Amino acid sequence: MPSKIIKNKKMIQGWALKAEDDFSFAKDTFKESKFYDHVCFLSQQAVEKYIKAVIIITTGTLTKKQKTHNLIYLAQICRVALDLSDFEIDLRKLTNAYIPARYPMNGYTKFSREDAKECLKSAENIINFIKRKIDLSIYF
């Protein structure tokens, strides 16, 4: 019996693999250094990429408007396939860390070890939920 043809398999695989790389790097960085800003940023990036993979799975593509870093907005887009509403606080925390972890907007924001630990935990909870609900193994 021939297997079902999956559209955009390489694109979905790419987003999921980059998400895994970001999350693995965030966890390793947390253990081995004090670059907590980067841990927060990479935690946000990992969740963003997983959500974008889900959007591509459900809609076939990413629109220009969906090329955002706002996790609340992205979660709303994919809610038909995956309800992330229970993670709103975590999504908001990660989204709010994205800019100050990368840019000195109104002065320099330094993230603490506790901030990084919280971002990692939030990302881990969301990623594990996505993996339980969406079988990403079919894209590999």
CB 65 within 8 A of CB 93: no
Reported confidence tier of residue 3, pLDDT bands at 50, 70, 90: very low
Reported confidence tier of residue 109, pLDDT bands at 50, 70, 90: confident
Cα separation of 31 and 46, whole Å?
A: 17
pLDDT, residue 4, reads 53
Mean pLDDT computed over 100-123: 90
Query: Residue 2 above 90 pLDDT?
Result: no
Looking at domain 9-134, its CATH class is mainly alpha
pTM for the model:
0.92
Mean pLDDT computed over 79-89: 94
What's the mean per-residue pLDDT of the chain?
Answer: 92
